[in-house]
């Protein structure tokens, strides 16, 4: 029998994790798995729990939460043979959507029964791990405000983004991308490991989790009057076809900016500073896939 541990973030997203223990008991194959369920109580707790599980030889750690919970869980598993599973209950669920893990918790639990695994790339930004997408600029500002909001969900994120957009001024970024000097004025620079920006939107539909590259997405500011026409392209996965997106595949990036210190890792804000160093970690994380 395989040993699993479920790590539940009790405050993630829109509350889909409520009643999760009953769903696990109902839909997980009891003849194939023995398991325990633990709840996080502070920031960084999921990393501690997953690292302990890997050291104890668990077969998999299942993250129940949003992108932040997935990120923390992955931190404890990098380079180990313990797989990470996901039951998405967050707001964006970017990595889950890319992996085509169902948003329905019961269906996501049933995926675990097959225990099919694959290895994916991860990356670091100033030595901080991310598995889906990281960035600096406008999306980092929105992530910072979203983290302070009392209410989660796409509606809150959308309202914060639209209210901040008009006043936000593009900034100049100096980058060294795999030895090539690149300077751009941009709304934001996103580092995409997957094709998901969250909430089923995409600025880089062709990003792959196992190609050994991070896609540097340089996004220019769309004139405000055009946003109503171009925003739907994010959901249609065609925004990269507009002149407002430039994508450069990279293994390592050095970025310098004069203004701003904010950044985000899988949607969670952090202080990135004016100098940012990105590096790919090829095939460093084992995940359970459909």
* Residue-wise pLDDT tens digits, 255-289: 999 988 889 999 888 999 999 999 999 999 999 99
DSSP letters spanning the chain: -EEEEEEE-TTSTTSTTTTHHHHHHHHS-TTTEEEEEEE--STTHHHHHHHHHHHTT-SEEEEEESHHHHHHHHHTTTTSS-EEEEEE-SSS-HHHHHTT--SSHHHHHHHHTT--EEEEEEEEETTEEESSEEEEEHHHHHHHHHHH-SS-SHHHHHHHHHHHHTTPPPEEEEEEETTEEEEEEESEEEEESSS--BTTB-S-TT--TTSS-EEEEEEPPPPGGGHHHHTHHHHTT-GGGSTTEEEEEESEEEEEESS--EEEETTEEEE--SEEEEEEEEEEEEEE--
Residue 82 in any domain: the answer is: yes
Reply yes or no on whether the pLDDT at 244 is more than 60.
yes
Compare 86 and 196 and report the one with higher pLDDT: 86
Q: Note whether 94 and 153 are same-domain residues.
A: no
Higher model confidence: residue 202 or residue 85?
Answer: 85
| CATH code, domain with 65 | 3.40.50.10330
Pair (105, 58) in one structural domain = yes
Residue-number span of the structural domain to which 104 is assigned: 2-115
pLDDT for the residue numbered 164? 79
Q: Could you tell me if 90 and 171 lie in one domain?
A: no
Same-domain pairing of 275 and 132 = yes
Q: Let me know whether 36 and 94 are in one domain.
A: yes
Residue 57 has a pLDDT of 95
Most confidently modeled of 16-25, 48-57, 197-206?
48-57
Give the mean pLDDT of 118-129.
96
Pair 47, 142 in one domain: no
Q: The domain spanning residue 186 has which CATH number?
A: 2.60.200.40
Does residue 202 belong to any structural domain of this protein?
A: yes
Q: Is the pLDDT of residue 14 over 60?
A: no
- Residue 123: per-residue pLDDT: 97
Q: Give the mean pLDDT of 111-138.
A: 96
Residues 265 and 233 in one domain: yes
Examine the fold and report which residue of 84, 115, 146 is the final residue of a domain before the chain moves on. Answer: 115
Same domain, 138 and 101: no
pLDDT at 144: 84
Q: Are residues 67 and 186 in the same domain?
A: no
- Mean pLDDT over 132-157 rounds to 80
Q: pLDDT higher for 273 or 85?
A: 85
> Average per-residue pLDDT in the chain?
91
What average pLDDT does the segment 169-198 reach? 94
CB of 230 closer than 8 Å to CB of 200: no
| Number of domains the chain is built from | 2
Q: Are residues 94 and 211 in the same domain?
A: no
Give CA–CA dist 254/176, Å, rounded. 5
CA dihedral 230, 232, 234, 237 (to 10 degrees): -110
Looking at the domain assignment, is residue 90 inside a domain? yes
Same domain, 111 and 133: no
């Amino acid at each position: 029998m395989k040993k699993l541990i479920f790590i539940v973030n009790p405050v993630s997203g829109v509350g889909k994790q409520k009643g999760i223990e009953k769903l696990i008991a109902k839909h997980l194959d009891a003849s194939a798995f023995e398991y325990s369920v633990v709840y996080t109580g502070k920031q960084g707790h999921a990393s501690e729990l997953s690292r302990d599980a890997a050291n104890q030889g668990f077969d998999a750690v299942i993250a129940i939460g949003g992108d932040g919970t997935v990120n923390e869980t992955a931190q404890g598993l990098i380079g180990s043979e313990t797989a990470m599973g996901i039951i998405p209950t967050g707001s964006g669920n970017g990595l889950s959507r890319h992996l085509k893990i169902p948003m329905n918790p019961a269906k996501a639990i049933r995926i675990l029964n097959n225990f099919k695994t694959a290895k994916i790339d991860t990356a670091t930004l100033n030595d901080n791990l991310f598995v889906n997408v990281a960035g600096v600029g406008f999306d980092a500002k929105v992530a910072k405000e979203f983290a302070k909001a009392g209410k989660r969900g796409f509606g809150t994120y959308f309202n914060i983004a639209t209210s901040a957009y008009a006043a936000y001024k593009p900034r100049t970024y100096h980058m060294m991308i795999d030895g090539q000097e690149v300077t751009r004025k941009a709304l934001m620079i996103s580092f995409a490991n997957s094709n998901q920006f969250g909430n089923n939107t995409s600025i880089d539909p062709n990003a792959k989790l196992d190609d050994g590259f991070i896609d540097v997405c340089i996004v220019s500011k769309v004139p405000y009057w055009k946003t109503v026409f171009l925003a739907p392209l994010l959901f249609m996965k065609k925004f990269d076809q507009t002149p407002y997106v430039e994508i450069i595949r990279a293994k390592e990036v050095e970025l310098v900016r004069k203004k701003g210190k904010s950044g985000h890792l899988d949607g969670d804000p952090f202080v990135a500073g004016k100098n940012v160093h990105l590096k790919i970690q090829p095939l460093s994380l084992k995940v359970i896939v459909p």
